Chains A and B, each alone.
Chain A
Amino acid sequence: MNFIYPNEATIQWDLLIVIYPFITGLVAGAFIVSSLYHVFGLKQFKPVARFSLVTALAFLLVAPIPLTIHLGRPERALEMFLRPNFTSAMSGFGYIWFIYLLLMLGEIWLVFREDIVHYAQTAQGLKKKVYSLLSLGVYEVSEKTRATDHRLIKILAFIGVPVACGLHGYVGFIFGAIKANPWWSTPLMPIIFLVSAIVSGVALLIVLYVVVSKIRGVEVDRDCVHAMALWLGGFLSLAVVIEGLEVFSRLYESETSWEIIRQLITQQIQTSYWVIQFGFGMLLPLVVLAASVLLKLEKKLRLSLQFLAGIAILVGVFAMRWNVVIGGQLVSKSERGFSSFSPPFFGQDGILTAIIILALPFIFFALITYFIPPWDKRKPLAEQRVLDYQKISLG
């Protein structure tokens, strides 16, 4: 027997809402990697410190897009900013996103400032104008400003850690605070989201860093990838434990809702939950990462294993978002049956739209790195030249 309330025939939060927490998770994770270098001083992350900041920004810029498209009345999207109802977790989105954007732009500007000043002075024509604009009229570079920059970067990166946790913890709270939905309602949800966010962000960085290095035809810093793989394994272990604990304690307590949840994970989303999220996305990469760390392997093979683990984890975290967002809505609130959902290919809420949105961050990434390449070794500026330039610019 399958009974759902009549109004539950259509699933309301579709594929667009699946990719939204996936994207914000990547932002939070990538940012935390950059902070491991900037705040916690982990030197192995230096090759990706700037790289991860740019990645985080590229994804952050895209985060509001699926949400806005999904709204019934997208023309009213700004209302969330202008007349927020603060008892709603969702009303915080605009503010948290905006604060995070400012913070990240500030940090990126400071991190890339010397490069921008350098380009502004050496580039020609339109490019010179762009860089002069990006420099915001500040051309001063000296040992003193460098020290101040570093201190400010550290402060911003430091503030950025709790904000990143806030951004993704809050996304988890949006689901975890819905008592009407037994599959969502758990105080563990923000933590589950946060840990999986970090996991997905580190995995993305490994994959993207290796791919970009290949495209650029440069050597991958294998020690850096190895360090990321170690941290990834740590966070992944934590993710397995929390996500496993979540479902195990439900089984053990066996409250009224367990019967319908049992049916959900054994008859409705069994493949995407057990096979993809847990098996392919967590246990397999754990084994692969462990092998890459513990076994004496050829460096190239080790890198390949870590790269593949990264891809598997990204697939697994996407499945996890699907299982939460869609899985939770499949369960009828009558607890007597399930709705069904399969996304259309075309259309506003279709697979094609999702693919385009997921491709956008990479386009932004290419665009940003075109102007401020995070990998370029730029010659340090002679202080004298800067002073000369200022004299000229001030007339």
Chain B
Amino acid sequence: MSKDNKGIGSEITTMLKNNIRSYAMYIALAAIFVIFNITTGGDFLSANNITNLINQTGYVAVLAIGMTLILIIRNIDLSVGFVAGFTGAISAKLMFSYGVNVYVAILAALGIGALIGLYQGALVVYAKVPAFVTTLAGMFIFKGLLLLITMGGGAIIVKDSFFTAICDACIPDLPSNIRFLPGMHNLTIYIGIIGVALAVFSQTKARMKKQKYGFKVISAPLFILGLIAAAAIVMAVTMLLASFNGIPWAAVIVGVLLFVYNFMLNRTTFGRYIYGIGGNPEAAELSGINVNKVMLLCFVSMSTIAALAGIMYTSRLRSALPNAGIGFELDAIASAYIGGVAVSGGVGKVTNTIIGALIIMSLTSGFLLMNVDIAYQYIAKGVIFIVAVAFDVLSRKKRA
């Protein structure tokens, strides 16, 4: 028995050692939550504020997911903020001035985003204009176009209830006759339970498959412990949200996008190619990878996601403003780097990027709640950003 415990002990130590960077990040996020909760007298972790935080994080989180790909392939996109502002304004303008159907307006914005990505990506990939320059020029251009669209009225108001729900409302609940838990958002709880069940099922299946191959897997107690811990966190958040208005649509959007991009990066050839190009573009090319095509698609994905972020932001404000999008690119880039994307490229996970985005946006939200001057917010973000990256660079150097 004691021998067994010792085995688990050393297993935990190696796990901690191998993933110290990720755990440090989770701990940092937890610490930020706890500190803000204390300094705001419990307001920070209230259902209301968490819902608010999710809505606020939504557009930065989606941008950061797209930015992760761009940073992995050793590029950068500075234009995402104003591309978001511009495309968001387009959707608003189409509905407000031309009475276009809301779905068409959204698709148009996404389509224009994709075209912008095609333009910037082609410049970077085929004309070999550095991404820094291409997207810096994009910052100017799309800021100008945003001002052009919002010219006159200043703000373009969006009244469509579907559109405004995207980043300002929660999913509807079940019809009242099949609600079983009074005073709670039933559907949210069901989704939480189903989600946990699915995760447990797929993790167990994956573990069994590995065992069938005869590969080493983490020991059963640790595996179960991990599942319980993850399930507990998910259910705690679910219950918190269910006690208020339920799961925000923004969380659904981020969740779906995160699932798709995580699958793409980890399980598909396209994802492999992205890491390969980031690790060594020459070797990737000589391995038969169409480097140009993969890079171009990353830029298209980035700008399309920027359009999605633009729609979310416009929805949240219920209007398109001339100053929309300022500084989004900085939050997105910082989120990805805090999430552990390597500054030298080739390394990074979208799941960790989301944690980075949560850290960044928690700081915004927490300082706001505390009524602290915005100056401190910037300083805190900058310090966490540089500590995270310096930690990365130093630990990589030590290993090399």
Bind each other: no
